C-alpha cells in the first residue's frame, strides 16, 4: 500500500500479511457455502430452549457469514444484511480457534463461521463455533458501533460505512427500494406500459430548469442531460400508446439543499383520453397504494404529522392566495395593479416575471407553499407559468394544472396536456421572450415536438412525481441526502 498508514492500520496490515504467509489469504476465497443467514437461523432455532439446542443433533453444521461489529473475550457479534448473530468460542475446547481469533481478527473483518446453535445464560441464540475463517480483511478502523457516524458529510461520502453502522440508514434505503417496487407494481397491475426514453436531449424542454450540457462528438454538437422526459413521452401518446410510465433519472444544473439534488429520480406517466382531474385521482391512488404496501399510515416530520389514509385536499391557487393574503387576484386585471401589490407585500419581481400570472405564483410561493402540510392539490395555475398545460377554457387566464404539496414541499405536478399545436407554438414563443429577459430556465422552441402535436395528440393527462421526495415524506426524512445512496458532495 502506497499511502501512509497510522499505527492501527499497520497492525491490521501485519495481520493480513501473516495470514497470507500461513496460506490463509482471505482474498483467495471466491465463494462461501452458507447454510443460513442470520434471519433464517433465528427463525428456525430461536424457538428452542437452551436444553433442547444442547441435545439437538444436526445433519450438518450451520454456516453463516457476516461482518464483525463487536469483539468480546470469547464472543463475536457479526452482522449481515438481515440482522446480527453472536458467535461463541470455547477456548478450552477450541484452543487453536481461540488463537486464530486473538491473532488475526479485527472489527470490520468479514468472516465465515461454522458451528452449532446454542443459547447463552441470558437466552440469546448464538453459534457455538467449530471453525472461523476471515474471508475479507478490513484494513481500515471502522467507526465505533454504538455511536455510528454522526457527521452528515461523512455519512454521505462513505455510505458503505453508514449502511453498516447506522441501522436506521439501511432501513430507509430498504424502504426506498420497496417504494419504487410498489410504484412499479401499481402501474403494471393497472394496465400501464413501462417505457424508456433518451437521457440525452437535443433541446431543452419538459420543465423549467437549467440543464447540464455535454458534447456529442459523433454528431459534433451539444446535447443536454434531460431535465424531464415529458416531451418524448407525449410523442409516444401521439404514436398510439395510451397508458405509459417511465421511472428514471433527471438532471438539473441547479443548487443543492435539503430537498434538491442535481441528479434525481422521478416517475412520469401519461394517459390518453383523460384530464387533470383523473390524474389527481391517479396521483392520490398511487401514493396511498404505496403507503399501504410498505406498511406506513402516518409520517411525522418536525412535529407535523400526515395521515396518508385521509382524502387529499384540493384548492385553486388564487383561492389559497386569497385565504393567506386577502388579495383576490381573479379581480386583478392590469399588470400595474399586480406590481403595486407585489411592492406593497415586499414580493420581489424579476424582469421576466412582470405578468399577473407570474406574480400570483410568487405570492403563492411566498405566503402559501410552506403552510401546506397535509397533502393538498393546488390547481388552476396561471397560463404564464404553465407552458405545456391545456387552458381552462372557462377562464383562459388559468390552466387545467395541479401540483401536490405535503410538508410544505412540492411532491407532484400534473395537468391536462396542451394538445393544440398553434397554442403550443405561441407558448414556446412566450418562453423565448422570457429567456431574452433573463429567465435561463425558460423552454426553447421545439419544432420536432410541435410537428408531433400537428399529427394529433389526443386529450391526455400527464403526471410527474418526485420519487426522492416521496421517499423522504413517507419515511419522515428531512434531508434528501439521507435517501440517496451516493449524493453529490463537494470535494474534500
Q: Is 179:290 a contact under the CB 8 Å cutoff?
A: yes
Least Cα distance to 78 among 106, 97, 46 occurs for 106
Predicted pLDDT of residue 2: 62
Stronger pLDDT, 209 or 7, i.e. the higher one: 7
In the block, cell 430507509 appears at 172
Least Cα distance to 163 among 486, 492, 491 occurs for 486
Predicted pLDDT of residue 146: 46
DSSP string covering 209-254: SPPPEEEETTTTEEEEE-S-SHHHHHHHHHTT--EEEEEEEEE--S
- Tell me, yes or no, if the pTM score tops 0.75: yes
Burial of 233 (0-12, 13-18, 19+ CB in 10 A): buried
Phi, psi of 428 (to 5 degrees): -60, -40
Query: In the 8-state DSSP scheme, what is residue 296?
Result: -
pLDDT one-digit tens code per residue, 347-383: 999 999 999 999 999 999 999 999 999 999 999 999 9
Q: Which residues contact 340 (CB under 8 A, 6 or more apart)?
A: none
Helix axis angle for 167-189 and 276-293, nearest 10°, is 130
Taking all residues of the chain, what is their mean pLDDT, rounded to a whole number?
A: 95
Least Cα distance to 283 among 397, 158, 404, 128 occurs for 404
Phi, psi of 87 (to 5 degrees): -110, 140
Q: What is the pLDDT averaged over residues 265-273? A: 99
Q: What is the pLDDT averaged over residues 80-106? A: 96
pLDDT one-digit tens code per residue, 149-161: 667 778 888 999 9
Query: In the 8-state DSSP scheme, what is residue 419?
Result: -
Task: Report the DSSP pairing between strands 125-136 and 200-201.
Answer: unpaired
Q: Which residues contact 299 (CB under 8 A, 6 or more apart)?
A: 305, 306, 308, 473, 474, 475, 476
Sign of CA dihedral 154, 158, 162, 165: negative
Sign of CA dihedral 428, 433, 439, 445: positive
Least Cα distance to 406 among 429, 374, 382, 434 occurs for 374
pLDDT one-digit tens code per residue, 376-433: 999 999 999 999 999 999 999 999 999 999 999 999 999 999 999 999 999 999 999 9
Per-residue confidence band for 492, with pLDDT thresholds at 50, 70 and 90: low
Residue length, the chain? Answer: 492
C-alpha cell at 453: 402535436
C-alpha cell at 353: 416575471
Predicted pLDDT of residue 351: 95
Distance separating alpha carbons of residues 62 and 84, to the nearest angstrom:
15
Phi, psi of 239 (to 5 degrees): -80, 20
pLDDT one-digit tens code per residue, 49-69: 999 999 999 999 999 999 999
Per-residue confidence band for 148, with pLDDT thresholds at 50, 70 and 90: low
DSSP 3-state assignment of 31? coil
Least Cα distance to 283 among 320, 238, 239, 245 occurs for 245
Q: Does residue 403 have a known ligand-binding role? A: yes
Partners of 114 in the β-ladder = 63, 131
Predicted pLDDT of residue 204: 84
Structural domains of the chain, with CATH: 7-142 (2.40.50.140), 165-312+374-483 (3.30.930.10)
Question: How many helices (DSSP H) and strands (DSSP E) are in the chain?
Answer: 15, 18
C-alpha cell at 312: 387529499
Continuous segment of H or E residues that includes residue 168: helix 167-189
Q: What is the pLDDT averaged over residues 326-349? A: 97
C-alpha cell at 256: 443543492
Amino acid at each position: 500500500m502506497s499511502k501512509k498508514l497510522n499505527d492501527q492500520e499497520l497492525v491490521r496490515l501485519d495481520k493480513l500479511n501473516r495470514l497470507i504467509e500461513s496460506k490463509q489469504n482471505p482474498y483467495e476465497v471466491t465463494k462461501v457455502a452458507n447454510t443460513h443467514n442470520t434471519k433464517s437461523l433465528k427463525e428456525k432455532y430461536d424457538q428452542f430452549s437452551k436444553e433442547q439446542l444442547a441435545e439437538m443433533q444436526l445433519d450438518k453444521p450451520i454456516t453463516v457469514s457476516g461482518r464483525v461489529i463487536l469483539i468480546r473475550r470469547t464472543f463475536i457479534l457479526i452482522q449481515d444484511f438481515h440482522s446480527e448473530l453472536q458467535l461463541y468460542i470455547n477456548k478450552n475446547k477450541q484452543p487453536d480457534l481461540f488463537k486464530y481469533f486473538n491473532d488475526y481478527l479485527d472489527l470490520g473483518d468479514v468472516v465465515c463461521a461454522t458451528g452449532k446453535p446454542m443459547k447463552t445464560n441470558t437466552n440469546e441464540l448464538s453459534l457455538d463455533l467449530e471453525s472461523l475463517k476471515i474471508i475479507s480483511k478490513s484494513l481500515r478502523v471502522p467507526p465505533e458501533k454504538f455511536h455510528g457516524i454522526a457527521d452528515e458529510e461523512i455519512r454521505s461520502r462513505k455510505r458503505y460505512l453508514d449502511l453498516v453502522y447506522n441501522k436506521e440508514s439501511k432501513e430507509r434505503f430498504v424502504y426506498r427500494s420497496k417504494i419504487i417496487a410498489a410504484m412499479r407494481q401499481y402501474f403494471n397491475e393497472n394496465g400501464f406500459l413501462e417505457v424508456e426514453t433518451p437521457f440525452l436531449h437535443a433541446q431543452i424542454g419538459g420543465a423549467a430548469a437549467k440543464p447540464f450540457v455535454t458534447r456529442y462528438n459523433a454528431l459534433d454538437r451539444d446535447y443536454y442531460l434531460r431535465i424531464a422526459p415529458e416531451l418524448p413521452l407525449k410523442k409516444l401518446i401521439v404514436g398510439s400508446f395510451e397508458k405509459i410510465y417511465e421511472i428514471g433519472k433527471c438532471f438539473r444544473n441547479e443548487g443543492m439543499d435539503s430537498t434538491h439534488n442535481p441528479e434525481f429520480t422521478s416517475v412520469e406517466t401519461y394517459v390518453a383520453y383523460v384530464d387533470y382531474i383523473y390524474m389527481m385521482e391517479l396521483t392520490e391512488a398511487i401514493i396511498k397504494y404505496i403507503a399501504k404496501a410498505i406498511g406506513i399510515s402516518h409520517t411525522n416530520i418536525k412535529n407535523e404529522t400526515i395521515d396518508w389514509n385521509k382524502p387529499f385536499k384540493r384548492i385553486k391557487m388564487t383561492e389559497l392566495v386569497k385565504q393567506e393574503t386577502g388579495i383576490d387576484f381573479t379581480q386583478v386585471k392590469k399588470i400595474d395593479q399586480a406590481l403595486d401589490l407585489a411592492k406593497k407585500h415586499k414580493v420581489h419581481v424579476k424582469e421576466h416575471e412582470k405578468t399577473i400570472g407570474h406574480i400570483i405564483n410568487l405570492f403563492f410561493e411566498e405566503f402559501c407553499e410552506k403552510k401546506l402540510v397535509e397533502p393538498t392539490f393546488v390547481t388552476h395555475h396561471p397560463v404564464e407559468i404553465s407552458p405545456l398545460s391545456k387552458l381552462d377554457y372557462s377562464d383562459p387566464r388559468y390552466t387545467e394544472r395541479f401540483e401536490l404539496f405535503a410538508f410544505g414541499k412540492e411532491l407532484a405536478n400534473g395537468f391536462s396536456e396542451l394538445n393544440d399545436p398553434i397554442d403550443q407554438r405561441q407558448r414556446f414563443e412566450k418562453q423565448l421572450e422570457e429567456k431574452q429577459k433573463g429567465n435561463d430556465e425558460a423552454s426553447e422552441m421545439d419544432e420536432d415536438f410541435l410537428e408531433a402535436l400537428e399529427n394529433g395528440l389526443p386529450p391526455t393527462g400527464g403526471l410527474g412525481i418526485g420519487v426522492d421526495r416521496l421517499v423522504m415524506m413517507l419515511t419522515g426524512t428531512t434531508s434528501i441526502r439521507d435517501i440517496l445512496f451516493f449524493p453529490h458532495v463537494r470535494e474534500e
